[in-house]
Amino acid sequence: MNLAIIGTGYVGLTTGTCFAEVGHNVVCVDNNAKKIDMLSHGEMPIYEPDLEEMIVSNVSAGRLHFSTNLAEAVKCSEIIFIAVPTPPHEDGSVDLSYIEEVSHAIADTLSPELGYRIIVDKSTVPVSTGDRVSEVIARYAPDEVDIDVVSNPEFLREGSAVSDLMNPDRVVIGADSQRAMDMMKRVYQPFNAPIVEVDLPSAEMIKHAANSFLALKISYINAVSAVCEKAGADVEQVAMGIGMDKRISRHFLNAGLGYGGSCFPKDVKGFINIADKLGAPLNILKEVEHINNRQCERFIERIRQKLWVLRNKRIAVWGIAFKQNTDDVRESVAVKIIRRLCDEGSIVTAYDPKAAESGALALQGYPVTISQDMYECTRDAEVLIVATEWRQFAMANLPKVRELMRLPIIFDGRNIIHGENAVSAGFEYHSVGRKSLYPAK
């Protein structure tokens, strides 16, 4: 099938590439000419595992194209996916101006001669956005155009987006016409995944409810981790013990510094805002947000307790990205911690395997040094903080780190370092929701 994706970011680029991989003809459109130019020359604007190879092979097979020309893409494609940003406003409501702009631009290019078109909302949007998109099309397109608007939310996780897209647990399609539903099912037929066929508002609601539930799971285990610290219990053992119950499951029960990224913080806020507006408040999600913020504060407080004063302390931070396997630093808890430490006058050196560049931009104006080497980053440090769950931090040569650091103190905000190994290397080891470990005197 001929498909267009409008918005070539983390979501649009990976989605479009995976559609091409299963045999569709795809054009990825973006209004950022620099990005399109890079992609057209085989350069990657983002880091996402396995994506580059897949782009290269699909471009050379002639199935994947990049363009800034939205009108041309609409002309050539039976289905147009919208994957542009939906950032939060100050009050938590969702900024839908990009969706409106793109819908308007699509409407301008539609004509009865073009034939039937499906416009699909891929971006995370508040319930009833689909109706709004239909209204915009009806307002600006000629009367006789034949279209349907569909909701098809994405569930990909950055860092494993390709594998999430190629092997989805389910595909949610919200459509109010059987014709649109049938065509959408043809798009996803090669993926061999269960398809959840629902009406449009229910599809939009599934996305809110799914992401907020995952955020709730993380906040739940983080709240439990605070109790574990007081009670002398081990949150990792607790997560294992409750996660083996299939009704609960171990996934998304990793205690740590809280969730970040471009989705959970924004989606939880958005869902709270919509529910309030609809007169059915979701106070439970207000607590989820509160726990998430507290988790990072508690961690900084524990470091302060240890060092007494943070000013002029040399602190090494491993991790800048909001999670492992990505260069994305949007709403990254690691960035938040680095900023807080800088504000307190600490001397911070940070390292991230992929987010050095994006991290430097996010930390502009903060006197942080970005190190190119994870070991050099720790030289003369008085504390090492692990802020992102990169696997290479879990595998670190701790005796080497011990030799480089001034004081032997690790604060592992992601519970990924083996505590006994840290102690054997001479460190005192502090983590989340577990007893601190100290070397024998």
Binding positions for ligand UDX, rule: CB under 6 A: 6-12, 30-32, 35, 83-86, 98, 101-102, 123-124, 154-158, 211, 214, 218, 252-254, 256, 259-264, 322-323
Q: Residue 322 or residue 427: which is nearer to ligand UDX going by CB?
A: 322
Q: Which of these, 211, 214, 159, 153, lies nearest to 184 by C-alpha position?
A: 153
Can you say whether residue 90 is alpha, beta or left, with left for phi > 0 and alpha for psi between -120 and 50 degrees?
alpha
Q: Which of these, 238, 257, 256, 263, lies nearest to 248 by C-alpha position?
A: 238
> How many whole angstroms separate alpha carbon 374 and alpha carbon 4?
41
Q: Residue 173 or residue 253: which is nearer to ligand UDX going by CB?
A: 253
Question: What is the smallest separation between the CB atom of 380 and ligand UDX, expressed in angstroms?
Answer: 28
Question: What is the smallest separation between the CB atom of 203 and ligand UDX, expressed in angstroms?
Answer: 13
Question: What is the smallest separation between the CB atom of 261 and ligand UDX, expressed in angstroms?
Answer: 4
**Which one of the listed residues 263, 296, 342, 377 is annotated catalytic?**
263
Q: Is 263 a catalytic residue?
A: yes
Coil, strand or helix at 380: coil
Question: What is the smallest separation between the CB atom of 414 and ligand UDX, expressed in angstroms?
Answer: 7
The DSSP-derived string for 256-290 is SS---SSSHHHHHHHHHHHHHHTT---HHHHHHHH
The residue sitting closest to ligand UDX, measured at its beta carbon, is 9
CB 174 within 8 A of CB 199: yes
Q: Residue 158 or residue 412: which is nearer to ligand UDX going by CB?
A: 158
Q: Residue 30 or residue 148: which is nearer to ligand UDX going by CB?
A: 30
Strand order in the sheet with 147-151: 64-67, 25-29, 2-6, 79-82, 117-121, 147-151, 171-175, 195-198
Q: Residue 38 or residue 407: which is nearer to ligand UDX going by CB?
A: 38
Q: Which of these, 156, 161, 212, 202, lies nearest to 181 by C-alpha position?
A: 202
Question: What is the smallest separation between the CB atom of 391 and ligand UDX, expressed in angstroms?
Answer: 13
Annotated catalytic residues are 263
